Structure 1
Amino acid sequence: MLKVLCVLPVKDSHKQLLTKAACGKCEFIYDEHPSSLDDADIVIGNVPAAMLKDSKVRLLQLNSAGYEAYTAAGVSPKSMHLCNAKGAYGLTVGEHMLALTFALVRKLELYRDKQKAKDWSDCGSVSSVEGATIAVLGMGDIGGEYARKVKALGAKCVIGLRRSNATKPEYLDEQYTMDNLEKVLPRADIVASVLPGGPATAKIFNHERFALMKQGAYFINCGRGSSVDQDALENALQSGHLAAAALDVTSPEPLPKDSKLWDIPNLFITPHVAGNFFLQETFERIIKIAAFNLEALLNGKALKNEILH
């Protein structure tokens, strides 16, 4: 009988779903802080990558969309199946991005400062999502959810950029691969990034690319902090080239208290809270993905969201 270690804060309803998926072929261990993976054949939830070395884990089902820590050379057993939680976060991160979008175009971050100062004065003109050109970088589940929402709200042109060619969804007006980024940036009123981490995206938003953006444009990053040269972003905001920006991710995290980013008035920062389990539906989706892959592994079927490593 295979041993399944679940490190997530599950409730009885979740345990029932996982038990049903196992069809009596597994023994479950529920431990949010395991000291080792010695007895685990299947792990549900993110564990420290170092614990995987020399383990016998056959399937690691992550509770995150990100997986970079587990694909580095020598980290995971070659025979281990690695699956992420793609599809669980589109709703919550897409809505967070939408909230940040409205916060920026309506200058809500500045009005929050005025509230603290008891200052009943206005901050001048604002912008609108309706009629805007919005570029979305990263067209997976999250980017797609955001793009669909802004299109429904009346964005004039929604442009999707992705790593490889794919059929253009109906909510996009235009779609390109990432090698067209420099052509798209000067056109966009709002640039929203949900790019993954890794060498290909490291500091992809640098001085040159921020300079390419339209004067008075807005920038949002809910992907990975490593994709942004934070000194370049600071310069673009302080110089007035960008109207405002919002970050849910930084590099490093937590953002150091002495970082200059904290004190930029037109920069809205949230502490990597777009995802996680703050929205209960996100957790429900993660458990459903885990149950699907548990059943698939036990029955020799194709896994969902498998990552090659």
Structure 2
Amino acid sequence: MKKRKLVITHNLELDLLNQVKAIIPDWELIASKEKEVWQEEVKDAEIIAGWKKGLDEYCLGSKSNLKWLQTWSAGVDSMPLEKLAARNISLTSANGVHSYPISETIFALMLGLTRKIHTYVKNQQAQIWHHANMKLEIHKKTIGIMGIGAIGSETAKIAKAFGMKVLGVRNSGKPAEFVDEMYTTDQLHLVLPQCDYVVVTLPYTKETHQLFGAAQFKQMKHSAFFINIGRGQIVAEDQLVHALQEGTIAGAGLDVFETEPLSTDSPLWKMDNVIITPHTAGSTEHYNQRVVENILIPNLKDYLSEGTPSINLVDYSKGY
């Protein structure tokens, strides 16, 4: 009788691999980031962990045995959701893995802009000793967090250490710990004028496509900073550029962009009021461990006992 098969499209440390093997000792387990290793194996895999571009041509054929796909990323907007939904394949994301590193990046960007660290780094390179009119501080300010999931919640928690007022935006409007006032997405116009920092942690969906454009930037304070670690397509980038050039908002910290890598022609590169990071906000030394121990293994146990994974199960109708 043919063994059931789990394919992980990443290289894992031996300890993590052994933890997975202990759950499915009778299964065939393949783990490698090399396409040459997994491309034939995924054709009859029951479970695949880790999505790779072009993987669908191997694992969604007519003889596919795929029942569950566990991603290695929080976002699922780049995946063939319609195909997966049509085949009734369970899809789970790595949402929650990034809450520590991304919340740290959010505050690095906020503090960098507030305390002009990016300006001083440039001055250091040019051996310029200049105050740069630095005067702002982050304490007691108001932060608006667009998206109160794992990342937004951790960001709200840290904000309280700075004595900040925290405004949250989520579809349900349901209250959350560390959030002083919660709003729904259609109430953005009430939130933005209050904020000294606007932080986007939303997933990319049809509803969030270019949610932030000229109208939203005009609703913000001229002194406000815009931070985006969600997805670049949530922002109309040309309109953000215009808002930064015209002083509609004070500055931006950006980890994601409409097109990545960001074009060398983009005006954002040379703006003094912008800090750019190359979509690395979620990078961490603990990434694989958290995906495997906090999500994959618990989901695997649920799948074996209940037939369906439970953690971060994607709702295809919502797109996340």
TM-score normalised by the shorter chain: which range applies? over 0.9
How much does 1:165 deviate?
A: 2.8
SS in 2 for 1:47: coil
Which range moved further: 111-120 or 48-57? Answer: 48-57
1:42–1:59 Cα contact (<8 Å) kept? yes
The aligned residue for residue 15 of structure 1 is 17
Whole-angstrom distance in 2 between the partners of 1:142 and 1:68: 17
Q: Does residue 44 in structure 1 map to residue 53 in structure 2?
A: no
Whole-angstrom distance in 1 between the partners of 2:315 and 2:26: 26
Which range moved further: 26-35 or 140-149? Answer: 26-35
The percent of aligned pairs where both chains have the same amino acid is 33
Aligned partner of 2:17: which letter?
K
Question: How far does the alpha carbon of each residue in 1:47-72 deviate from its partner, in whole angstroms, 9 at most, with x for none?
Answer: 23533422321111111111123353
Aligned partner of 1:128: which letter?
E
Whole-angstrom distance in 2 between the partners of 1:231 and 1:79: 38
Aligned partner of 1:163: which letter?
N
Whole-angstrom distance in 2 between the partners of 1:81 and 1:214: 43
How much does 1:77 deviate?
A: 5.3
1:107–1:126 Cα contact (<8 Å) kept? no
- Which of these residues, 125, 128, 135, is aligned with residue 119 of structure 1? 128
How much does 1:75 deviate?
A: 5.0
Aligned partner of 1:210: which letter?
F
SS in 2 for 1:171: coil
Whole-angstrom distance in 1 between the partners of 2:119 and 2:243: 17
SS in 2 for 1:139: coil
- Which of these residues, 248, 266, 288, is aligned with residue 259 of structure 1? 266
TM-score by length of 2: 0.91
Question: How far does the alpha carbon of each residue in 1:152-179 deviate from its partner, in whole angstroms, 9 at most, with x for none?
Answer: 2211x1001011132x223111111111
Whole-angstrom distance in 2 between the partners of 1:285 and 1:236: 38
Question: 1:1-309 residue pairs with structure 2 within 5 A?
Answer: 1-22=3-24, 24-32=25-33, 33=35, 34-36=38-40, 37-48=42-53, 49-51=55-57, 52-54=59-61, 55-75=64-84, 78-155=87-164, 157-166=165-174, 168-275=175-282, 278-288=283-293, 289-300=295-306, 302-309=309-316
TM-score by length of 1: 0.94
2:116–2:134 Cα contact (<8 Å) kept? no
Whole-angstrom distance in 1 between the partners of 2:96 and 2:271: 34
5+ residue gaps, structure 1: none
Whole-angstrom distance in 2 between the partners of 1:198 and 1:125: 38
How much does 1:307 deviate?
A: 1.0
Question: How far does the alpha carbon of each residue in 1:124-161 deviate from its partner, in whole angstroms, 9 at most, with x for none?
Answer: 03322211011000100011111110112211x10010
Count of aligned pairs:
304
Whole-angstrom distance in 2 between the partners of 1:79 and 1:73: 10
Aligned partner of 2:176: which letter?
P
Q: CA RMSD in A?
A: 1.5
5+ residue gaps, structure 2: none
